[in-house]
Amino acid sequence: MPNSNPDVRQIVIGTAGHVDHGKTALIRALTGVDTDRLAEEKRRGISIDLGFAHYTSPNGINASFVDVPGHEHFIKNMLAGAGGIEAVLLVVAADEGVKPQTREHFEICRLLGVKRGIIAVTKIDLASQEQIDNTQTQIDALRAESFLQKAPIVLVSALSGRGMSALVQALEQLCCTQTFTDRGSLVRLPIDRGFALKGFGTVVTGTLWGGELRTGDSVELQPLGVEARIRGLQIHGQPVTSAKQGQRTAVNLSGVEPTAIQRGLILTKPKQLLPTKRLQIAVEWLSGVELPTRREDLLLHIGTSEIAAHLKVLNGAFVECELESAAIALPGDRIILRRPTPAETIGGGTILDPFPAKQLNRFQTIKRLESLLAGGMETRLPLLVEEQSNGCTVESLVWKTGYSEDSLRGLIRASTNLLLTADDEHVVSQAWLNARRQQLVDFLTAFHAQNPSTPGAPLAQARLGLNLTLSNTIFQGFSAVRINGDLVCLNSHRAEIPPEELAQLGRIEQEFRKAGFQPSAPMDLLKRAAVPASKERGLLERLIKEGRLIRVSSSLVFHRDVLDHVRTSLAQQKGRRFSISEFKDWTQISRKYAIPLLEYLDYQRLTRRDGDCRVVL
């Protein structure tokens, strides 16, 4: 029966060290598992690909070992394994001492941010005391002031078993003080193996970087964008119902062919993270390598993937990488940079921005990266929001920061300079809101100056080109403006109508009222009202906007009182049928006007057309 995966103490440990120094033999001596599975590995006597073994100590501590190849040709595979480890078992043969890949693997672990480890000086059965002392001296020089400075050094022989109990003790110690590298709460499982299992279908394995996986969950294979479902989970060969951050996990997937799987893909929650092809990185170059000066084609390793990247040096501390194929990357992720020819690791770094701001010059880019490097989310969040002209969605911040929507909303609510829109989906800065409100005040001030006698500006115009969510955020709770129907005005605005204009408006209304059901063309009525020709149209439109006059069709305008009269008369005769000629008799309206008026009444749902007749609703 699958268990619910109680929080057993467990850790993922990677081997590291020069080829032939005894990594695989040590893992075999410890776990009984020969991680050199491939025929070619057997034939050549060296590890080529990653090997996996798990180990339960006498005290019940579970360690997942990732055994990496030491040969310089297979650093790519070593990197795929090292991306998911918590601690390193650095293996140095006592008779050979520190060699190039001892150094390279050590540097890679350091650059990947591995925090702890154990150093095994192995093959002591083959070495003299002098050799052992020399090796220890070299190790001390290598690890000085590094994460391994205080790591235990254990002298062992995988052949004779000498020192193995001290190694077990050191492992127990390591697990007791274990803390997971926090890579955020979002589900990410960089895949290091994918295969078909008879009767099960597709299985992928990897270290779960963040979040939790449960059987039945939907997942997405990124950057392919293929969705699948979790049929089953295994940890240490045991079926479980959930897997948590930091655990080496085997995932049985349905809905995806084994052939679609390759190392380097990453399992995420569907539609949560977005692949990117541009990264800005705080870089650290290894000493003794030839540094890239301006631009160079390199290989970038992230998670379990290796991607060709075009590197642009911004300054000594920052680079930008244009990736040949997209990757899932989040701020804080560690990467390794390698030169393809001659093959060498030249540095590594921390991703500062997986979706760099565009249209910045080099100076601005560097300044921006400096603040991202120096600050935490309290710097990053306002920066990301404010560099967009109208804020951004909470959803987009998930793939830009690696924080869940819920934690982002929490941070936004707690911040003094950011706020959520009413629907909780969008975030803007207080500075943006202030600026937009000022813009609205400026707009209304100008509008009122030009139209002193108009009660307000049409809302559609005052939305300043923003969508409803954003413009409502500006209007809501803003005491300087007042909304009335579909008009908005400054709170201080009182429509003032000059007496002369008031008289003109009155005369126009009078003409339309007089015309009743027989209105002449609106322009003729305006002439009769004797208003200055230049103002005719404006005054007419204003009366229509204010609802004093009602436009029934393009050339037919009635006074509101006339239509109110129709409305009240109809209200008393619900259900009655009448013909067009009856309607004409009743209103004395000409046939030319009757049809558009009836259509207007239909549209207003006062009447309904029924053959040649109308029914009062």
Ligand X SMILES: Nc1nc2c(ncn2[C@@H]2O[C@H](COP(=O)(O)OP(=O)(O)O)[C@@H](O)[C@H]2O)c(=O)[nH]1
Contact call for residue 97 and ligand X (CB under 6 A): no
Taking each helix axis from N to C end, the angle separating 377-386 and 430-450, rounded to the nearest 10 degrees, works out to 30
Contact call for residue 101 and Mg ion (CB under 5 A): no
**CA 524 – CA 526 distance, rounded (Å):** 5
- The one-letter amino acid code at 590 reads S
**Structure token pair of residue 547:** 């609802």
In SS3 terms, 84-141 reads as CCCEEEEEEECCCCCCHHHHHHHHHHHHCCCCEEEEEEECHHHCCHHHHHHHHHHHHH
Nearer to ligand X, 24 or 587 (CB): 24
Q: Which residues contact 385 (CB under 8 A, 6 or more apart)?
A: 391, 392, 397, 418, 427, 428, 429, 432
Instruction: Determine the size of the site formed for ligand X (CB under 6 A).
Output: 18
542 contact choice in Mg ion, ligand X, none (CB below 5 to 8 Å, kind-dependent): none
**Looking only at residues 104 through 133 of this chain, which bind ligand X when binding is defined by CB under 6 A?**
122-123, 125-126
Q: Which window, 15-23, 463-471, 538-546, 576-584, contacts Mg ion (CB under 5 A)?
A: 15-23
Q: Per-residue contact track with ligand X, 49 to 88, x per CB under 6 A?
A: ---------------------x------------------
**Looking only at residues 37 through 66 of this chain, which bind Mg ion when binding is defined by CB under 5 A?**
47
Nearer to ligand X, 129 or 287 (CB): 129
Of all helices (H) and strands (E), which one includes residue 29? helix 23-31
Contact call for residue 18 and Mg ion (CB under 5 A): no
Give least dist CB 341 to ligand X, A. Answer: 24
**CA 3 – CA 166 distance, rounded (Å):** 32
Give least dist CB 425 to ligand X, A. Answer: 53
Give least dist CB 157 to ligand X, A. Answer: 4
Contact call for residue 226 and ligand X (CB under 6 A): no
Contact call for residue 21 and ligand X (CB under 6 A): yes
Using DSSP's 3-state secondary structure scheme, residue 270 falls into: coil
Contact call for residue 47 and ligand X (CB under 6 A): yes
159 contact choice in Mg ion, ligand X, none (CB below 5 to 8 Å, kind-dependent): ligand X
Tell me how far the alpha carbon of residue 312 is from its chain's centroid.
24
The residue from 24, 245, 276, 429 that contacts Mg ion (CB under 5 A) is: 24
**CA 251 – CA 567 distance, rounded (Å):** 70
The residue from 48, 159, 226, 594 that contacts ligand X (CB under 6 A) is: 159
**CA 515 – CA 509 distance, rounded (Å):** 10
Contact call for residue 48 and ligand X (CB under 6 A): no
Tell me how far the alpha carbon of residue 302 is from its chain's centroid.
18
20 contact choice in Mg ion, ligand X, none (CB below 5 to 8 Å, kind-dependent): ligand X
User: Which is it for strands 218-222 and 266-268: parallel, antiparallel or unpaired?
Assistant: antiparallel
The residue from 157, 404, 454, 471 that contacts ligand X (CB under 6 A) is: 157
Nearer to Mg ion, 28 or 301 (CB): 28
Look-up of token digits 């409305």: 567
The runs of H, that is alpha helices, within 516-559 are 522-528, 533-545
Nearer to ligand X, 32 or 316 (CB): 32
Beta bridge partners of 213: 243
Contact call for residue 122 and Mg ion (CB under 5 A): no
Q: Are 275 and 355 in contact (CB under 8 A)?
A: no
Contact call for residue 102 and Mg ion (CB under 5 A): no
Instruction: Determine the size of the site formed for Mg ion (CB under 5 A).
Output: 3
Using DSSP's 3-state secondary structure scheme, residue 542 falls into: helix
Nearer to ligand X, 158 or 174 (CB): 158
Using DSSP's 3-state secondary structure scheme, residue 566 falls into: helix
Nearer to ligand X, 23 or 248 (CB): 23
In angstroms, the Cα distances linking 377 to 329, 372, 401, 600, 601 are 17, 9, 8, 58, 60
Nearer to ligand X, 91 or 384 (CB): 91
Using CB under 6 A as the criterion, which residues of the chain lie in contact with ligand X when the complex forms?
17, 19-25, 46-47, 70, 122-123, 125-126, 157-159
Using CB under 5 A as the criterion, which residues of the chain lie in contact with Mg ion when the complex forms?
23-24, 47
